[in-house]
Amino acid sequence: MKRRDFVKLLNGSLLGSTAVSSGLFAQKAVSKARRGMPSPRIQDIDVIATAPAGLRLTVVRVRTDQDGLYGYGCATFTQRADLVVAAVERYLKPLLVGRPADRIEDTWQLCYGSSYWRNGPVLNNAISGIDTALWDICGRQAGLPVYRLLGGKCREAADCYAHASGAEIEDVVDRARQLMDEGFRHVRVQVGVPGMAGYGSGAGAAAVTKLHEEPVFEPAAYIRRALDLLEACRESLGDKVELLHDVHERIPPTLALQLAKDVERFRLFFLEDPVSPEDIRWFRHLRNHSTTPIAMGELFNSPHEWTPLIAEGLIDFLRVHLSQAGGLTPCRKLAAFSELFGVRTAWHGPGDVSPIGHAANLALDLACHNFGVQEYYRFPERVKEVFDGCPTLENGYLYANESPGWGIEIDEKAAKKYPYGSFEKGERLDYNGGWGVIRRRDGTVIKQ
C-alpha cells in the first residue's frame, strides 16, 4: 500500500464508516499518549509486617511518583522475617529509589547482583518483595491482572490439593473424605507417629524412650506408619482421588529409595521431598529404582539446585516457594525451563505465604501450560481482614481475582492489629519464628 493510500485509510476515506474511522483515531491517540508518558519511578519502599494468623507475613510496598500508582509484593520468610525487613529497608530501598518502576527484569538483575554473594533465602525473599510489587504496578498501570501480562490463561482455574492430617489414621481418612465432598480431587495425607514429632500432624500421647527432653523422630517408625496410612486411604477412598504425601526430608536417602518403591502400589500423584536439598544426587537413584512421581523444591534457593533435577528428568513436579527463589521474574523462567523437560509446577502454597504470594502462584498456574497442581491454603478470617481480594476457591479450583495487578488491597489498620509479636499461645515465639529442634532417640538432630 502506498503511503498516501495508508493516510487516506486512517482518515476513513477508504473505510466508508465514520464509526470505524473514529475508532482508529481514538486507538492511535491512546497509543501516542502511552508512548509519551514518562516511566513511573520508584519514589518510596516500605514493609508491611503482620501476623494475623500467627504466621509472620512480610509484604513490600513500592510507591511510584505517579499519584495512586503503587504495588504490593510478597517477601514472606517466616523463620527469618525480621532480617528480610532489614534487607529491604536498609539495602534494596537505597539502591532502587529514583529508578524506573517498569524495568522489572533490569531491576531484578540489579538486586540479584547487589550483594555479590547471592542465592540466599534472606536476599531472595527481599528481592521477591520488590519484584512482585513491580509486577503489581505493571498490572495496575495496564488495567490488567498479572496473568494476562504473562500471556493469558491456559486454563480457567487452578486445580488444588488440600491437607488431610490427624493423629490417627481414621481421622485422616475421615478428613480426606470431607475434602472430597467439598470438591477436591487431590488430597495430601499425613498422620502422626505415636509419641513422635510427625510433620503436619499430631504426635499422640504415647511415651517414647529417649536420651533427651526434646521432640523425637525415628525414620523407621515413620515409614511403617506412612505405609499403613496410604494403604488405608487407598482402600477407603478408592481410586478416584489423587493421593499425595510429604516425607519432609526427614529420612536417610537409602530409606527414601525403599519408601519410593514401597508406595508404588498406592499410585500416588506425587511423593514430596523424599530427601533433603543436600542429598539431591540421590534423585538419580530414585528415578532408576522407582516409578513413583517425585515432587521437590520448597527449600530451593538457587538454579544450581533445580537445574540438574529438571534437565535430567529426575523429578516430576517442581515445588519451589516463589519468594524463596526471588519472585515472579525468575519463576516464570523456571516454569518455561521445566516445560521443556516435561516437569510440571506445584508451587509451594502453605500458610506462610502471604495472599500476595498465593496470587503470584495462581498467575503462573493460569498462564503456564505445564501446570500440575496448586497447594491450597484456606485463608482465615483475620488474614482476609488484612488482605482484601484473596483468590477464591470453588469445587476444588482456585480462581484469580480479575482486578488489575494482583487485585489485592491491604488494610493497614487491620495489619497493625497483628504485629509480628502477636503470636497465639503455642506458636514458635521462643525461636523468633524459627523451627525448633527434633532429635532421634539417641539425640542426633534430624534435618527438617
Residues 6+ apart with CB under 8 A from 194: 203, 204, 205, 206, 208
Query: Active-site residue among 199, 222, 377, 397?
Result: 199
Q: Could you give the CA distance from residue 197 to residue 330 in angstroms, rounded to a whole number? A: 35
Q: Where are the alpha helices (DSSP H) in 341-447?
A: 355-367, 381-386, 412-416
Q: Which residues pair with 220 in a beta bridge?
A: none
Three cell numbers written together for 293: 512421581
CA distance 245 to 224: 14
**Cβ atoms 216, 439 nearer than 8 A:** yes
199 noted as active-site residue: yes
Number of H helices and E strands in the chain, helices first, is: 17, 15
- Antiparallel, parallel or unpaired: β 374-375 and 387-388: unpaired
CA distance 217 to 439: 6
Q: Are strands 392-394 and 344-345 parallel, antiparallel or unpaired?
A: unpaired
Beta bridge partners of 46: 61
User: What does the alpha-carbon distance between residue 330 and residue 107 come to, in Å, rounded to a whole number?
Assistant: 12
Cα separation values, 437 from 194, 214, 256, 425, 447, Å: 18, 7, 22, 19, 9
The three-point CA angle 157-162-165 to 5° equals 180
Instruction: Say which of 186, 245, 248, 321 is annotated catalytic.
Output: 248
Q: Which residues are catalytic?
A: 199, 248
